[in-house]
Amino acid sequence: MLGKEIFSREWWEFLDVLVEKELRMRYKMAIFGFAWIFINPIIQMLVMGFIFQFFVPVKTANYFEFLFPGLLVWNFFSYTVLKNTPIFIGERALLKKANFPKETIVLSVVIVNLLNFLLALMVFVTFEWLVLAEIHWWRWWLLPGIMLWLTVLTTGLSLLFSSLNVKWRDVNYGVQALMPLWFYATPIVYSIDLLPKWAAGFVYYNPMTAIVEILRWVVIGTPVGWVSIWVSILSTLIIFVVGWVVFKNNSSNFDDWL
Amino acid sequence: MTGSKKNNEVHVQLTDVYKRYSPAVGSHLRNQKTRLVLSEVTIEINKGERVGLIGSNGAGKTTLLKVIAGISKISSGKLVVNGRVNSLMELGAGFYPDLTGRENILLNGMLAGASRKEVRRSMNDIIKFSGIAKFIDYPFYTYSAGMKLRLAFSVAIHASPDILLFDEIVAMGDEKFIKTFQDYFSRVLKEKKTVIFATHVLDVLPLYCNRVIWMDEGKVRMDGETKKVIEKYKKEMKKRKDDS
């Protein structure tokens, strides 16, 4: 039987094999293969940057560099949660083969998307460095912390939604409806000071707001709301714990619903 | 001393096991009561026993295997499984259609409980034993049902399991596969592996099994020597047919 203790050697090994599988599967039959990691966000940035700079009066020297950090964070978050929510149904062939630590399925998606995110971010930073502006290198030391924070939030929501979706398939549709709304409730294409007061208060306490703003602070030095950081860290932890507990209580019964 | 030694010999032990399925929330079945698929199941299987599992469709054979494999969780009772379990139940379970046979071996071997090193070491043996070396670098979706079965079987037995669970699918193989399967069974005999084998093909049971468990509506109807159980089972089936 596969070593079930979390973080045991077998556990890491299995996770590693799943990550490798995920990478292989994703770009297997695509001619451009891994290039899609870069093509996608660049096209997205060009389109959105082109459109929104006419509508959103953000006071910044370059709207593209304002937009890009937030967009990358958002892409990682939304792709991962959207892919993970129905994942236990998609991977039922694995679940019907053996008893193994099922959280590795969710984590493998998180890790692969995190790699994509980091690669895209590196390209952006290089671009910044060569073409646009000076880089505040000392601020980049915060990056590992930001990534961890974002990853914990994403993993917590992924575990929560994927576990609930096994029994209640409505969850998947709900998440699909929620994501576009959440995108506009996060200051990605706009900055929070452009909002009317009531809307700003709402957006301020969105856990994604602080993550997007702090990465933008690292890149171009725009301001961050300190209270929103603490609110976000706290809600991240709560979401993760709830997600983990729901997953733990339900994972051994997944087979009954698949 | 003797007591503990005897305990090591028991590979699978179920004591008063129940398994209920609740109806799916959103389906048209949502107003139905929970379905009892296993009830009062008490079975003890010793190391090296080869047990056949018979019973009509829906008698609980597959659920019993799933429970032993740890895929499904029992609702109440006690379950003890000593040793590494590998199951061969749904064709293609644990295999990804888009990955090649070779790529699938690693993941599937690890699902079967082997370490990455073990799987890599036995990779060539697995491919050779499967008899589909020619196609091993083609995607899994290009395989015929027989080839899928061969590969899955090969991976299963190379992961050095202590307890092997087979469901109906073994009957899907061609003659050559049945031969491989029989050869493997005679080897199992020597290696003292525990095998549990669910099937509707009663004639093959005496070849493989020294004990048969007859499941009926979730309960153990009879448990004993192969020929006796089959005889009783056949008689009952005939009676049921005549009655209806």
What DSSP letter does each residue of B87-122 carry, written as one string?
EE-STTTT--TTSBHHHHHHHHHHHTT--HHHHHHH
What pLDDT does residue A243 have? 97
Is B212 a residue whose pLDDT tops 50?
Answer: yes
Residues of chain A under the 70 pLDDT cut: 1-4, 132-133
The sign of the dihedral angle between the CA atoms of B159, A1, A256, B196 is positive
Least confident of A184-188, B18-22, B206-210: B206-210
Return the number of CB contacts < 8 Å for A and B: 85
CB contact under 8 A, B73 and A17: no
Q: Could you tell me which chain B residue has the CA closest to the CA of A9?
A: B115
What band does B30 get if pLDDT is binned at 50, 70 and 90? low
pLDDT tier at B25, thresholds 50, 70, 90: low
- Structure token pair of residue A94: 């694995």
Q: Which residues pair with B216 in a beta bridge?
A: B219
Q: Whose structure tokens read 């590998």? A: B86
| Residue in chain A nearest B20 by alpha carbon | A256
- The string of pLDDT tens digits covering residues B63-102 is 999 999 999 999 999 999 998 898 888 888 899 999 999 9
Q: Is the pLDDT of residue B3 over 50?
A: no
Close Cβ partners of B10 (under 8 Å, ≥ 6 residues apart): B44, B45, B46, B47, B80, B82
B72 contacts A28? CB cut-off 8 A: no
The CA distance from B159 to B84, in Å, is 9
The residues on B that touch A, with CB distances below 8 Å, are 21-22, 24-26, 66, 69-73, 81, 84-87, 89-90, 92-96, 98-99, 103, 106-108, 110-113, 115-116
Cα-flanking dihedrals φ and ψ of residue A38, to 5°? -95, -35
pLDDT of residue A70: 93
Q: How many CA atoms lie within 13 A of B21 on its CB side?
A: 19
For range B216-242, the mean pLDDT: 92
Q: Which chain B residues have a beta carbon less than 8 Å from that of A16?
A: 116
Beta-carbon separation of A256 and B70 below 8 A:
no
> Predicted confidence band at B31 (pLDDT cuts at 50, 70, 90)?
low
Tell me the per-residue pLDDT of A167-180, one tens digit each, with 9 for 90 and over: 899 999 999 999 99
Classified as helix, coil or strand, B192 is coil
Beta carbons of A56 and A190 less than 8 angstroms apart: yes
8 Å CB contact of A256 and B21: yes
Q: What is the mean pLDDT of chain B?
A: 87
pLDDT value for A86: 97
Q: Which of B21, B94, B110 sits opposite A17 (nearest CB)?
A: B110
| pLDDT per residue as tens digits for the range B117-139 | 999 999 999 999 999 999 999 99
pLDDT > 70: percent of chain B: 92
pLDDT of residue B8: 58
Shortest CA distance from A170: residue in chain B: B26
DSSP letter, residue B35: E
A216: burial class by Cβ within 10 Å (0-12, 13-18, 19+)? buried
pLDDT interval class at B230 (50, 70, 90): very high
The predicted model gives B140-155 an average pLDDT of: 91
pLDDT attached to residue A128: 80
* Bridge partners (DSSP) listed for residue B15: B78
Out of B26, B111, B113, the one facing A94 most closely (by C-beta) is B111
Buried b (16+ CB within 10 A) or exposed e, B65-84: bbbbbbbbbbbebebebbeb
Write down the residue that tokens 């399967």 correspond to: B181
**A20 to chain B, closest Cα gap in Å:** 10
Per-residue pLDDT tens over the stretch B157-196: 888 889 999 988 666 778 888 888 888 877 777 788 899 9
pLDDT given for residue B5 in this prediction: 44
Model pLDDT, residue A1: 41
Place of tokens 């599967």: A25
